[in-house]
Amino acid sequence: MNTKIIAFFNNKGGVGKTSLVYHLAWMYSNLGLRVVAADLDPQANLTAAFLNEDRLEELWPDGNHPSTIFGCVQPLIKGIGDIADPHLEYVEEQMSLLGENLALLVGDLSLSGFEDQLSEVWPKCMDGDERAFRVISAFWRVMQKTAVVHKAHLILVDLGPNLGAINRAALIAADYVVMPLSPDLFSLQGLQNLGPTLRHWRKNWKNRLHQNLADDLVLPEGQIQPIGYVVLQHSARLDRPVKAYNRWIAKIPHVYRQAVLAEPGDNHLSVADDPHCLALVKNYQSLMPMAQEARKPMFHLKPADGAIGAHATAAKKVYRDFQKLAGKIGERTLGLGIEE
């Protein structure tokens, strides 16, 4: 049985996507689930959130990178074989707190070099080309291998903000998609592009699946099922008055239904009442720098990290917020009820 893969994606950047994946990975592991956090963004921001520079330097030496996602697909890129066995990175801070529930599939800036090959082989799948199917399904097969090694209950995937071939292959690998949004014009425009593109990719992959002639090659179903959106509020800015903020956040339920679900929109439904809204995550500006310095999630900050007084209270609230969000996502993807 394949482990469920949940991708977090919006083709508009700057919506807090990586921070969301990072904190949810910690939260699920904190709740006793075994999780793989997979960094498929060539910018590798999720990896940088987990690991310090000394460890990154060891994982990204000059030349080959055998311990990263790029190392896993290098045999395919070079035409000398299929995917290599994945390396899983266990974070020392996480192990000291939670044991080995959380593992990282390390990202790599070199992964961008896989883009051209993914674009090239996409049409060849329609000709039944076995290597084309192996290349397109590489991410899914690597992640499923990590799940077997780690005995994972779920895989969370961080993706870059674009509609390129890397993200197409990564989303084909996903069972579910969560869409982080910010209440602004750019995020809503991204949503309007994203919905039709996901439906197009899903349909095209279903057509290609019938052309796979290799009996020993198991492929992803390409479910790519949207399960909802998360609105990430940012700190107030002088150039974004409250009126503008309210205007854009009011449009989200309508645009999500129309663009992503291809259903009639509802101009009268608010985010607070929308069942597709998984969470409205407030700005935690005062805690984020502290968490980054301590290299841990905001809800694990302690007095020794500087979380005292109001900061300690805020850290507890962040825990409750992410526990509730993890519960909603778990219920819609794994059928899990998570106690608060």
Q: What is the pTM of this model?
A: 0.95
Annotated domain spans of the chain: 4-288
Does 3.40.50.300 match the CATH number of domain 4-288? yes
d(CA 155, CA 3): 7
d(CA 202, CA 184): 27
Q: Which of 208, 151, 159, 164 is nearest to 179 (CA)?
A: 159
What is the pLDDT tens value at each position of the chain, 340 positions in all? Answer: 799 999 999 987 777 899 999 999 999 999 999 999 999 999 999 999 999 999 999 999 987 899 999 999 999 999 999 999 999 999 866 555 666 899 999 999 999 999 999 999 999 999 999 999 999 999 999 999 999 999 999 999 999 999 999 999 999 999 999 999 988 888 888 899 999 999 999 999 999 999 999 999 999 999 999 999 999 876 555 455 677 778 899 999 999 999 999 999 888 899 999 999 999 988 777 898 899 888 899 999 999 998 898 889 999 999 999 999 999 999 999 987 665 5
SS (H, E, C) the chain: CCCEEEEECCCCCCCCHHHHHHHHHHHHHHCCCCEEEEECCCCCHHHHHHCCHHHHHHHCCCCCCCCCHHHHHHHHHHCCCCCCCCCEECCHHHHHHHCCCEEEECCCHHHHHHHHHHHHHCHHHHHCCHHHHHHHCHHHHHHHHHHHHHCCCEEEEECCCCCCHHHHHHHHCCCEEEEEECCCHHHHHHHHHHHHHHHHHHHHHHHHHCCCCCCCCCCCCCCCEEEEEEEECCCCCCCCCHHHHHHHHHHHHHHHHHHHCCCCCCCCCCHHHCCCEEEEECCCCCCHHHHHHHCCCHHHCCHHHCCCCHHHHHHHHHHHHHHHHHHHHHHHHCCCCCCC
Gyration radius from the chain CA atoms = 20
Q: Is there a contact between 135 and 121 (Cβ–Cβ < 8 Å)?
A: yes
Q: Is there a contact between 160 and 43 (Cβ–Cβ < 8 Å)?
A: yes
